[in-house]
Amino acid sequence: MLYFPFQARRLEAQLDDQMSAYRKLVSMKSDGSENDIESDIERSLKQLQQVNSQMQTWVSSGGSEVLSHTLTRHMEILQDLTQEFYRLKSSLRVKQQHASLLDLRDFDRAKFDVEEASDSADQALLREQAAINRSTGQMDNVISQAQATLGALMTQRSTFGGITTKISNVSSRLPSINHVLASIRRKKSMDTIILSLVASVCAFLIFIYWLSK
Distance between start and end Cα atoms, the chain: 102
Maximal CA-CA distance, the chain: 164
Q: What is the pLDDT of residues 151-164, one digit of tens each?
A: 666 676 666 566 65
Which pLDDT score is estimated for 40?
93
6-10 long-range contacts (CB < 8 A, ≥24 apart) are 7/51, 8/48, 8/51, 8/52, 8/55, 8/74
How far apart, in whole angstroms, are the C-alpha atoms of residue 92 and residue 86?
10
Work out the number of other CB atoms within 10 angstroms of the CB of residue 128: 10
Which pLDDT score is estimated for 113?
61
CB 51 within 8 A of CB 10: no
160-187 in b/e burial notation, b at 16+ Cβ within 10 A?
A: eeeeeeebeeeeeeeeeeeeeeeebeee
Which pLDDT score is estimated for 12?
93
Q: H helices within 61-177, ranges in order? A: 65-173
How much is the pTM? 0.43
Neighbouring residues of 38: CB distance < 8 A, sequence distance ≥ 6: 22, 89
Residues of the chain with pLDDT under 70: 1-2, 29-33, 63-65, 103-119, 135-144, 146-154, 156-182, 213
How far apart, in whole angstroms, are the C-alpha atoms of residue 16 and residue 71?
18
Which pLDDT score is estimated for 202?
79
